Amino acid sequence: MLKGVRELMRLVDLALVPRRHRHKKKWAATEPKFPASQLALQNFDMTYSVQFGDLWPSIRVSLLSEQKYGALVNNFAASDHESAKLEQVNAKDFVNEAISHWDPEAESDHSVAPSTAYSPNLRCPASGFSLLLSLSVFRAGLLATKPGGHVVYSTCSLSHLQNEYVVQGTTELLANQYSIKVRVEDLSHFRKLFMDTFCFFQSCQVGKLVLPNLIANFGPMYFCKMRRLT
């Protein structure tokens, strides 16, 4: 009698729960134990907490928050109409504002200054296809550049493997296999111009890295300007 009552109560409970919300044993057996998004966050925590230390918690919160975006206007086209539309939505032209405070003499001083020090013997580990692809594309760009020309390497990654190590590995590869010398250009003037707009990573050895920040939530964005010497 008691068993029959329990079975009846179970059936009543199931009847009150919509079918789409009921636990389906067959489906549940194939569900991942941890969601892919949770695994990605765990991987980020293990990797970037070591790289950025105390800065990582603020970067992590910023990555999970709403980001800011920028609009690039084509200066070689009739851009007055587009600029007017951007002004109507209260967009801020931080490029022209920074240029108005630009000191040309300061830039010329930086251009002749010695390049940022790097380790020429540092090997770039081949940790994946994307890393090898970045190396090959960057190398091809420098090989196609005439002596005196410039190449800008840029990514949307926080990883120093995909940023600084690619630059250093490509520099070493060109010197050893092709006898081509390249120089990392000093971008300190760029950092000074946009320090009120972007949050730059202080410990970047080669190039500049923009870190996500709740106050100025742009990035991540890495860029490095190289000049081919020979």
Q: Which of 156, 199, 204, 224 is catalytic?
A: 156
List all residues 6 or more positions away from 61 whose beta carbon is below 8 Å from its beta carbon: 214
With tokens 């892919």, the residue in question is 36
Active site annotation includes 156 = yes
Cα–Cα distance for residue pair 224/204, rounded to 1 Å: 11
Angle between helices 164-177 and 129-143 (to 10 degrees): 50
CA–CA gap between residue 57 and residue 164 (Å, rounded)? 22
Q: How far apart are CA 27 and CA 227, in angstroms?
A: 57
* Catalytic sites, residue numbers: 156
